[in-house]
Structure 1
Amino acid sequence: MSTLVYLTRHGETVWNTKKLMQGWKDSSLTDKGIKQAKQLAQRLSEVPFDAIYSSTSDRAVKTAEIIKGKRPVQVIQTDTLRELSFGNWEGKTFDENERESPKEWSAFWETPHIFSSNTVECFSKVQERMVKTINYIVKQHPNETVCVVSHSIALKLLLDFFENNTLENLWSSLPIPPTSLTLLKIDSVTNEIIFKCDTTHYNA
């Protein structure tokens, strides 16, 4: 029996437009972000979700609620779907963080596989909790269809695991766009990515 897992990132936020690092802090969806979520909701309107899971960050919850629409299911919130915690980098621009902690900042982008910090969550920890969470969700919903709303780096790390990409190559692929859609087919033997980071609903 296979479980279908639709993965998406929250819609665009105010901090996204200002290029501020969010992590565990939060920022409201912009009008564009709400539109992106509604476009995705329309695309998924005929998908019979048995459950919808979301990060506890408000930007993800709001996106999940829009996707849910009138479905008779609750949005199940879990901390383990949150974004990587940027610690004392949160709420600051890339330029500010590079200026204030140049060595850590360089390591974050250039050597993610060996990156470590006293305040910023390490990539392997985020990948571990994301994989563990998806495996838990699949176990709870055998042969069902679920939606999962999370965040850019968290989803990138999850997909890298399924594609057997190493942390060393984390930044070699493009960022995950807001409300882009990925579909996983998971059973006890195989994990298959049906499609990845699709944004065709933007044109709806």
Structure 2
Amino acid sequence: MSTHIYLTRHGETVWNTKKLMQGWKDSPLTDRGIKQARLLSERLSKVSLDAIYSSTSNRAVHTAEIIKGEKSLEVIKCDNLRELSFGSWEGKTFEVNEKDSPEEWLSFWETPHLFSNDTVESFVKVQERMVKTIESIVNQHSDGNLLIVTHSIALKLLMDYFEKNSLENLWSTPPIPSTSLTLVKINNEFNEVVYKYDTSHMKDQKNQNVLTGALVQ
């Protein structure tokens, strides 16, 4: 018996387009973000989902509700699926944060495994809470199909855990596109990443995320 977990990042938001750092603070989905969620809803329309879980951030909940569509499921909201908290960096551009906190900013990018800041949540802490939360959810659904709507860095850290990648190499992989789809198969013996960050449902939409997009979620 296996649990199939479909993981996605929320749709594009207003702050994403302005390249403002967005962790626990929030901004609404753009029209493009809504369309992204609808396309993913179409892709998942024939998947028999047993539960839908979402970060409590409005951008994730809105995405989850759109994907849910007419399915007779309640979106289960979970604080621990939220993005990394950027603390005093929230709502500011990369340039401003680099100027205000040059050493910590450099560590954030160059030595994420050692990163420490008085207000910004550590990568280690986010990875730990994401892993524990997914384990808890899977324990409640020993067999079935689940959808998890979360955020870019949170998802990247979770996938690094599944794939046994070192936190030191966090930024060695490309940013995660909005509403891309990842499927992980979990049972008592092993975790299998079936596919990740797939955007085949986006059709003619050109994903315009760049590296900064991974950090303004």
TM-score interval w.r.t. the shorter chain? over 0.9
2:128 matched residue in structure 1: 128
Equivalent residue, structure 1, for 2:149:
149
TM-score normalised by length of structure 1? 0.99
> In structure 2, what is the equivalent of residue 45 of structure 1?
45
Alignment of 1:1-12 (within 5 A): 1-12=1-12
Q: Which residue is equivalent to 1:82?
A: 82
Q: How does 1:72-111 map to 2 (within 5 A)?
A: 72-111=72-111
2:189 maps to 1:203: no
Distance between the aligned counterparts of 2:22 and 2:157, measured in 1?
A: 17
2:99 aligned counterpart, secondary structure: helix
The alignment of Structure 1 onto Structure 2 pairs a total of residues equal to: 204
Percent of matched pairs sharing the same residue: 68
Alignment-mate amino acid for residue 60 of structure 1? A
Q: Kindly state the Cα deviation for residue 142 of structure 1 after the two structures are TM-superposed.
A: 1.0
User: Could you list the runs of 5+ residues in structure 2 that have no partner in the other structure?
Assistant: 205-217
Structure 1: runs of 5 or more not aligned: none
Q: Deviations over 1:87-121 (max 9, x none)?
A: 00000000110011111101000000000110000
Alpha-carbon separation, structure 2, partners of 1:146 and 1:32: 25
CA offsets 1:140-168 (integer angstroms, 9 cap, x no match): 01111100000000000000000000110
Residue of structure 2 in register with 1:18 after alignment? 18
Letter in 2 for 1:149: V
Equivalent AA in structure 1 for residue 2 of structure 2 = S
Q: Give the drift of 1:201.
A: 0.7
Residue 64 (str. 1) matches residue 64 (str. 2)? yes
**Which residue of 1 is the match for residue 33 of structure 2?**
33
Q: Which residue of the partner structure matches residue 211 of structure 2?
A: none
Partner of 1:162: 162
Q: Helix, strand or coil: the match of 2:77? A: strand
- Give the TM-score normalised by structure 2: 0.93
RMSD of equivalent CA atoms? 0.6
1 CA distance for matches of 2:122 and 2:63?
26
